[in-house]
Amino acid sequence: MNDHSTNSLKVFNLCCIALTVTSMTFAIRAGILGQLGTQFGLSDTELGWINSMAFLGFPLAMMVGGALYNMLGARMLVSLAFICHLLGLILTIISDGFWGLLISTFLVGFANGAVEAGCNPLVAELYPQEKTRMLNRFHVWFPGGIVIGALLSKIMTSMGLGWQWQVGIILLPTLLYGALLLRSTFPQFDAAEHSTVLNFKHLFSPIYLFLALCMTLTATTELGTQQWIERILGASGASPMIILAMITGLMAIGRYFAGPLIHRLNPVGVLLASSIFAAAGIFALSQAQGLMVYPSAILFAIGVTYFWPTMIGCVAEYTPKTGPLGLSIMGGLGVFAVSIWNPIIGSWIDTARNHSQALNLSPEAVELATGQAVLIKLFIFPVILIVAFSIFYWWMKKSKIFSSEDTQAEHATSSVNMNIK
């Protein structure tokens, strides 16, 4: 292996570890919400606002970083991600209440977005002859890292280790990618190859705006449900963290083969099928208890596995002139939507719990009824998507726009795997 290949592998490993840190923050935050609420006396609405900061910082960094990538370069963005990860995690550990958690969670979310904004184009530059394969390998580490984080949270909670220890363990891979950052040489690139101004002009096409609206719903269906899984399924008789690990494990396997699948199938058809499976999964979860929660979760996993990558693929295929900016904006909008819906989901939990308590149910029955009521409301998101994608599929077929697949397929497949979440 020559020096160039060795350095490329080092930078690639750095990116994978940084993405693992990103996904571990999602999983462990989902696992410690209950502990945070108990220790600091926070309502679920307040926990929703804290959650929303992660989903606010993420799109802010992603959209700004995507627009400034040509100016700043990958090293600057990944360095910014490391600094914000380090500060955010330490501040989370020493937080003493709502405002400390709010600020620290925003910093972690901003770091997560900077990782996406910096590493997606970087991996493509490292391996220009095998973008699809290497970007597939890179993005496996988002669901893969959630599996790691969910299992660690489950194990540490069962050992009686508090939330501070669970957040603290994320510092280990953070310091590792920081050390690699100091020792790695990043590739040089030609900033004149891309025009952010021209990309921006094409963001206002009807198809792009429609996809942007749908992205807010697909992202909330996926990430909104997963982020509150401990609170929603805590009384279902199944382990929420095991369910989260199972869902994201299946997603990692499915996304590993995302490139060939989406290359062969019609992207809008994949989105329609995903919406149907996601709706079936959420509805089944709203009715299930005990062991039946696990097959219901599998249905949900099948539904959300291809949401994110296929949405990004549609942007690349049907609105290619939006370029890298269009992809970054689309991903940022998805996470921003989750930041908006998080407090609302938290308020749904508070309202459903108060209603159940008024019925003089046992504490266990209250929590079960609360989770089921919230899932029924989340069920509305994929139902809307089924209608939207059915109409979109009919319109695209009638307009014969699907014929562009032959000319755009290679570009779409590459772009899909650049932005898997």
**The domain spanning residue 391 has which CATH number?**
1.20.1250.20
Asked if residue 190 belongs to a domain, the reply is no
Q: Which amino acid is at 110?
A: F
Judged against a pLDDT cut of 90, whether residue 392 lies above it is answered with yes
Cα–Cα distance for residue pair 219/271, rounded to 1 Å: 12
Out of 197-211, 219-233, 308-322, 403-417, which region has the weakest mean confidence (pLDDT)? 403-417
Asked if residue 180 belongs to a domain, the reply is yes
Q: What is the pLDDT of residue 396?
A: 85
Q: What is the pLDDT of residue 326?
A: 79
Judged against a pLDDT cut of 50, whether residue 135 lies above it is answered with yes
Whether 11 contacts 79, CB under 8 Å: no
3-state secondary structure 260-307: HHHHHCCHHHHHHHHHHHHHHHHHHHHHCCHHHHHHHHHHHHHHHHCH
Tokens coding 20: 């693992």
Asked if residue 189 belongs to a domain, the reply is no
Q: What is the pLDDT of residues 37-70, one digit of tens each?
A: 889 999 888 988 988 888 889 889 988 887 887 7
Cα–Cα distance for residue pair 228/30, rounded to 1 Å: 6
Q: What is the pLDDT of residue 411?
A: 43
Judged against a pLDDT cut of 90, whether residue 290 lies above it is answered with no
* Cα–Cα distance list, 130 to 139, 190, 298, 327, 406 (Å): 14, 19, 32, 20, 20
Q: What is the pLDDT of residue 263?
A: 64
Asked if residue 200 belongs to a domain, the reply is yes
Q: Is pTM beyond 0.85 here?
A: no
Number of separate domains in the chain:
1
Domain carrying residue 306? 3-184+195-418
Q: What is the pLDDT of residues 264-288, one digit of tens each?
A: 667 888 899 999 999 999 999 999 8
Left, alpha or beta for 237 (phi > 0: left; psi -120 to 50: alpha)?
Answer: left
Please indicate whether residue 137 or residue 352 has the higher confidence score (pLDDT). Answer: 352
Asked if residue 158 belongs to a domain, the reply is yes
Please compute the mean of the pLDDT values over residues 385-389 and round it to a whole number. 97
